[in-house]
Structure 1
């Protein structure tokens, strides 16, 4: 920026002139071409940050210069701005736009906080009144209305109330899925687990981003949900919630506290879950075809008992600024099943005919501490870097005692499992709304298990998978866009007695989108992926199932390959939102159950040499009859073929309906789904599940949320059927359980805020206890 100016002869310059020249040259900010930064924040009337608001830098004659959007905390900035007078224009969905003058000098300028007023506006042919679906370039922005927020107690409740057509939300189990598989959940861009979303307070959720064709940091997911929350800088809360089931013992009780101070937040969460009921009861017919004779066996459960309890504790510290979001978390989970018992009557016929009683007693105990570090960094306004590292240690104990008459079988396993997961994502925004990114992941497990009893053995296994992806998003003209995600997977695992197994796999996700207009889209996708075997399958162990059957591990399983082609039409038409799609999927080297005979025993093991083909079609729609009445309908068609040795085919149609009605402080929900029939690609069995229906009513007021409901209120005997036919082994099984019969529940939640109201902390603890122990059913 310094200009070279030649000196004049001494005769032509005076001392005063020289002094003046030096003062000007040494003056801070002397250059007429200095470039500076201007920045600020955008909030609503409640002083809540307005994330992803549009900010435009204009000349005083309104000519456009540059544009940007606010981050999740409402902050924005413009760099390399020439000193001058400007206009700044602010706008976002559901708020009145605002334009302010700004005078920029030779120094970085921080502008006053801009407050936007709420307004009902029409955007993309969708009225921001009631639940709003706004189609963005790479996602759908869903803005919850007051009714949906008021009558929700958790993050899952709110997602359920939104009735997004292509999503299936089970708010009771916390499972969120779409036609292609499980949906990844995020909170402010950070990957979330069940407890994290369960502990979200709906009134703290500003809006929800639904990435039905994930790009950028979400690339690689089947689909992604990102909750955008309102963040505060002071105050805190104490919360209590509990859910008690009626019909059998099932309780879920949680307590949490959170304190906010400036950009920092600190939280402590804890909980206790317990359940006790009559266990799964089975009626099973089996046929085993030995070379010289056939054995028939009929099994009837005479008594079943199940008891489980779980405790968790989480400590978390978080720091969020305009430039970064970093957190550290320490978690502890204890899961115990002190009782899982079944007594049965066995009737044998064929080669031998006799009746005998059996008893199956199992106990499990797992303790898992873990540490998670997370960081998201805005390197520049167009570049982001995200890093996540998590390590966990798990101690598992498993004991099984099986008796049949006077014969006794014993299995006792002690396991230590170490897990480490690391991922980093880099993304840069290019011109014309294009973007380029890279994602590196590594997942590693090491397990050591000592088996004693019928078969004494020490099993040591390590498994690691490294994945790398590039992600490029390109807009073509105004109506076409493409997302291309090439990558690879490098899978390694080694059992202590075997050579290392190594598998390279090409991975790719490509999506092509044609935007018909602002409310209609056509999408086509081609995906290539892989799937690793479950860690509990890879061993050289034998275990006694009963005195006719042995379960055996297989350390030589192949890498499963997945190929998927799909096409979809999606539309948001005033009150109606819907999609129609069709998908073809081929699975090569599918890992499944394998049966073969060895002497006088049936061996149940695993194989990876079969293929599976799926043809699927779906219709999903939701309709808002009024602000008080909403409905959602889903219909699915499945056609599955497993060719080759067993040649299994199944066709099924499934339909479901959900209806929500809001009235003042009350909300009523009615839901139901038809019976289902699906092929389980692991067990190779056809599973038939009964129809399910239920209703709930909730009352919400200030910090209170009370809900009561019932499932299958008029059904006494829900039966789950399963059958399979193999060349040497056939079976048919009917299962019943108290938890699948008519039940009720009551749920109560209360939150007390102190200081300035604060968003409820989210527990991102994974409460699953990992294990590589091979267990019998």
Structure 2
């Protein structure tokens, strides 16, 4: 608390050992309270800092038992803005991850965990506000976790900023995380009494666009009860598609087809709900049970266009494409953690999931009243899966050891009716074992891991069985107290997706067919990176160089059969990406103003059995965050990171936004404008097939110059925190359905 006996909210609290190595940290709550648990015996330094106050350091000598530090006073400084209670964000670089302690300005300007992630602007992480998605710069999976638990975006939205102790960012994940491109782990507090009710509402009044969350938790003695609901909707009536296609026929003719779209509807509704119960015996064991249900509904995705051949442009056809889809994903999640003696932990997780998918598509090409092409597709998909995982961890004076096993078993049954009829059943299993040791010798940090995977698939007489070793290594050297260099390398196997393995055909239009391939095999990926980081005064910066090589990757293939162009997936020769990126951030006025800029280059080399493409993309991303008292202002501008894989270059849209929040106690009001300086949002793909190249552009007028208003409110009662953290969880969202759309 302050010298005037007032609680200091959002003060940074950092615990280090006598060698100044970070041990743990957190943020004080609205009453200035904090706690730290599961500490080893020894001597520590406790540092408390907050802008507008003198930094205070306490010596904790011969720590052997629980200590109540009582009231700790920090004196106000004489700076001009001493009434502003905000703190600087600390980033602690560890051998395998970055530990990010969000600043008070970032916490105050955020209303949930997903909102905070946008404010942090982590390196090589892309946030898609339209689809509520998070992806890596390379287009790979970003695992979101809560206290080590694999979580969805909706669950991240259920986190209140004031409950976040820190965020751990794994830029090059180790053996435990298998094929993830990055891992973002939210470490949050757990209560053991009281609770809260909160609502976070964001809506636009220009057209149907909203993200609304409701959250409640109740703690009583050793039990916690929780319920969370998230509902998002989009209703876009200004979407249209332009397409330019070439078809190289067997007789040498080249046909050029043009699609000119008219504005039409795209509607989406996402609903997510979970019920949660947990029970803990402090410092002994912890049990958690969660029941989830997710509904992804796209009732309308329509394209109405004029379609014509370039050599007969006066003979235009009317093209109509109407698609809809609905997916239900109920699941049950059981978790148990046992805290053993001598810094040992055992963790077990069992998840059962059912995925029910229903997709419909109607496509027609007409001239006047004459129907030239008419296609119908109705897909009924059912997938059942069980995921079980167990992990053992042991801490040592010189490091830590982790070992685990994970097994996934699934069964898929899909029925295709309409213009083509097919039945498809598939069984798939994967077992993964790993062991990893992390340690430190003076300025040198290291992490060594070894993993092994058995992948198996059987589908209507076809299948594969594959065994792969996965070694990982991470080496980091602290050049000075404020600069470091890190090298990471890993080798792993990537399995084909269930949808690509489907031995079925779907007719796309009058010229094209999409076909599954049950002969696909897993392939090897070799990845390594070098990262340099430094800080000096108000500046922080870094340089990243990464290279990824895939041997016999699963990439697209186009063939000509009986006058139709068949698009499918095959194991091709190779694919590689070289990525360099530079980032710099500056805080000229402490946390009152933070500016960050990053920019880079990605070079792609894609080699198929009968094609070879190269592509280079330059991109950048800039953010600004300003805070004064209860007001916050933020802005973002980015040039999208395009991706090239197989024969397709996928365009990541350019984007910019400006927003403002006002917070008064538990109420936060805000407004944001998306793409205020452009008329139309634009995305699309370029395909470079020698037989059937194409350029597709999607335009959405609603997503420019759009205003979004937000209201967030938290009601707390009887707050008291505990330290038990659930450390792992699994989920299945791969429906295994082959889509028929363009």
TM-score past 0.5 threshold = yes
Asked whether the 8 Å contact 1:330–1:369 carries over to 2, the reply is yes
Alignment of 1:687-706 (within 5 A): 687-689=650-652, 691-706=654-669
Root mean square deviation of aligned Cα: 3.5
Residue 273 (structure 2) pairs with residue 313 (structure 1): yes
Which is further off, 689-698 or 600-609?
689-698
User: How far apart are residue 641 of structure 1 and its match?
Assistant: 1.4
For 1:670 and 1:622, the matched residues in 2 are separated by 14
Deviations 1:256-283 (A, max 9, x none): 2210112321011223222211264111
Residue 233 (structure 2) pairs with residue 233 (structure 1): no
Alignment of 1:74-85 (within 5 A): 74-76=36-38
Could you say what secondary structure the match of 1:92 adopts?
Answer: strand
Question: 1:572 aligns to what?
Answer: 535
For 1:623 and 1:742, the matched residues in 2 are separated by 29
Could you say what secondary structure the match of 1:291 adopts?
Answer: coil
- Residues 390 and 360 (structure 1), Cα distance of their counterparts in 2 relative to 1, 3 Å cut: same
Question: 1:424 aligns to what?
Answer: 390
- 2:46 aligns with one of 92, 114, 118: 92
User: How far apart are residue 670 of structure 1 and its match?
Assistant: 1.6
Asked whether the 8 Å contact 2:278–2:286 carries over to 1, the reply is yes
Could you say what secondary structure the match of 2:119 adopts?
Answer: helix
Residue 368 (structure 2) pairs with residue 413 (structure 1): no
User: How far apart are residue 414 of structure 1 and its match?
Assistant: 1.5
Which is further off, 485-494 or 352-361?
352-361
Residue 285 (structure 2) pairs with residue 324 (structure 1): yes
Residue 613 (structure 2) pairs with residue 648 (structure 1): yes
Question: 1:345 aligns to what?
Answer: 306
Alignment of 1:136-285 (within 5 A): 136=94, 139-164=97-122, 173-175=132-134, 177=136, 181-212=140-171, 214=173, 222-278=181-237, 280-285=239-244
For 1:725 and 1:179, the matched residues in 2 are separated by 20
Residue 564 (structure 2) pairs with residue 601 (structure 1): yes
Asked whether the 8 Å contact 2:147–2:187 carries over to 1, the reply is yes
Asked whether the 8 Å contact 2:408–2:430 carries over to 1, the reply is yes
Question: 2:329 aligns to what?
Answer: 368
Q: How many residues align?
A: 698
User: How far apart are residue 690 of structure 1 and its match?
Assistant: 5.2
TM-score by length of 1: 0.82
Asked whether the 8 Å contact 2:95–2:474 carries over to 1, the reply is no
Asked whether the 8 Å contact 1:165–1:633 carries over to 2, the reply is no
For 2:692 and 2:551, the matched residues in 1 are separated by 24
User: How far apart are residue 667 of structure 1 and its match?
Assistant: 0.7
- Residues 540 and 230 (structure 1), Cα distance of their counterparts in 2 relative to 1, 3 Å cut: closer
For 2:544 and 2:138, the matched residues in 1 are separated by 9
- Residues 729 and 77 (structure 1), Cα distance of their counterparts in 2 relative to 1, 3 Å cut: closer
- Residues 369 and 182 (structure 1), Cα distance of their counterparts in 2 relative to 1, 3 Å cut: closer
Residue 445 (structure 2) pairs with residue 481 (structure 1): yes
Could you say what secondary structure the match of 1:555 adopts?
Answer: coil
Question: 1:402 aligns to what?
Answer: 363
Asked whether the 8 Å contact 1:49–1:230 carries over to 2, the reply is no
Question: 2:511 aligns to what?
Answer: 548
User: How far apart are residue 147 of structure 1 and its match?
Assistant: 2.0
Could you say what secondary structure the match of 2:573 adopts?
Answer: strand
Which is further off, 130-139 or 548-557?
130-139
Deviations 1:44-97 (A, max 9, x none): 9899999995699xxxxxxx9xx9989997344779xxxxxxxx8554342642
- Residues 710 and 235 (structure 1), Cα distance of their counterparts in 2 relative to 1, 3 Å cut: same
For 1:593 and 1:391, the matched residues in 2 are separated by 32
Asked whether the 8 Å contact 2:666–2:715 carries over to 1, the reply is yes
- Residues 116 and 653 (structure 1), Cα distance of their counterparts in 2 relative to 1, 3 Å cut: farther
Could you say what secondary structure the match of 1:727 adopts?
Answer: coil
Asked whether the 8 Å contact 2:578–2:603 carries over to 1, the reply is yes
User: How far apart are residue 118 of structure 1 and its match?
Assistant: 6.5
For 2:175 and 2:568, the matched residues in 1 are separated by 41
Asked whether the 8 Å contact 1:165–1:577 carries over to 2, the reply is no
Alignment of 1:440-459 (within 5 A): 440-459=405-424
Alignment of 1:526-537 (within 5 A): 526-537=489-500
Asked whether the 8 Å contact 2:149–2:730 carries over to 1, the reply is no
For 1:690 and 1:399, the matched residues in 2 are separated by 27
> Can you give the 5+ residue segments of structure 1 that lack an aligned partner in the other structure?
1-43, 57-63, 80-87, 105-109, 122-127
User: How far apart are residue 569 of structure 1 and its match?
Assistant: 1.0
Which is further off, 142-151 or 766-775?
766-775
Question: 1:11 aligns to what?
Answer: none
Deviations 1:162-215 (A, max 9, x none): 455565556773526467954433323333321222121111222333444656
Could you say what secondary structure the match of 2:115 adopts?
Answer: helix
Question: 2:708 aligns to what?
Answer: 745
Asked whether the 8 Å contact 2:598–2:620 carries over to 1, the reply is yes
Alignment of 1:121-136 (within 5 A): 129-136=87-94
Could you say what secondary structure the match of 1:638 adopts?
Answer: strand
- Residues 512 and 415 (structure 1), Cα distance of their counterparts in 2 relative to 1, 3 Å cut: same
Larger Rg: 1
For 1:300 and 1:374, the matched residues in 2 are separated by 53
Question: 1:379 aligns to what?
Answer: 340
User: How far apart are residue 132 of structure 1 and its match?
Assistant: 2.0
Deviations 1:135-161 (A, max 9, x none): 456544333332222221111333443
